[in-house]
Amino acid sequence: MPYVILDNNVATPIAAPAPNPALPRTNYGITLGAARSEIRAMLTGRQDIEDARLNFWLNRAYTDIATSTKHDEFKYTLGFTTVVDQPQYLLPDLTVTTMTLSRVDSDHAFGGEPLQKIDITAYRTRKEMSAFQGMKRKPKEFFRQNRILVLYPTPDEVYQMVMDFRFEPAPLVVDTDSPVLRTEWHETWLMLARKKVLNALAEWEASLAAGNDLASHMRLRQDHEAGEDENRIVASSVPRNESMLRRKSRIPHPPIDH
């Protein structure tokens, strides 16, 4: 492919999620106001820290938990349509990771076809669009560069696409806002925020103790996503032909007659 410029200003926008899953919950578990009061209590009642500063560190802790650990609450599926002769699409602001991208296609056995994820280096080796003269250009591959999603080959018509991705949550603003986290993680959120505040106050020993406390606490957290995947058949492990069946079952090949 030619060295096209990947520019956020020229990429065609795709629809933002609606309703926006990144928005905070309301009065669920520990709210921002309750969290701020609890942090003050953890800091032995210090009243010299402004609300805005505590809100800042509570939001930083919230974002860190959301983006550094896997939670189903931060997964979302977004549908959008392609534009003829447009390979670039602008992702929503809060996109953290693109997981899968599929093209809806009623001719396909399962009603759709997953696209293969590649990188920009592989994209640069692909054939020019002129090589598709007179052929259908259904997107088969994709990659992400910053906020730009790039499809290959460039769509020749309007196709319906479905993208699974992880998002960064919107900040907590008002006192009734609550994290988009299961309540079992709200204590973790407070403990991480306490460590960040102590570190910002240059209270190094207290920050180290808070970090050790957090580490002990995290060892008790269960990976629910891994639990959900338990006993799930992995697609790559399903034998698709006799040769693969023999390799996986260790069935010996029949003897060769001489």
Question: What's the pLDDT tens digit per position in 174-192?
Answer: 999 999 999 999 999 999 9
Indicate the SS3 state at residue 66: helix
**In Å, how far are 35, 101, 191 from 198, measured between CA atoms?**
15, 42, 11
Cis check for the bond before 255: say yes or no (omega within 30 of 0): no
pLDDT tens digit string along 158-167?
A: 999 999 999 9
- Which pLDDT belongs to residue 241? 45
Q: How many residues does the chain have?
A: 258
Does the structure show a pLDDT above 80 at 247? no
- Which pLDDT belongs to residue 32? 98
Mean per-residue pLDDT, 114-125: 92
Distance CA 151, CA 102 (A): 11
CB atoms within 10 A of CB 104: 14
- Which pLDDT belongs to residue 242? 44
Does the structure show a pLDDT above 70 at 243? no
pLDDT band at 48; cut points 50, 70, 90: confident
DSSP bridge pairs for 144? 149
Residue 96 in contact with residue 165, Cβ under 8 Å? yes
Mean per-residue pLDDT, 80-91: 92
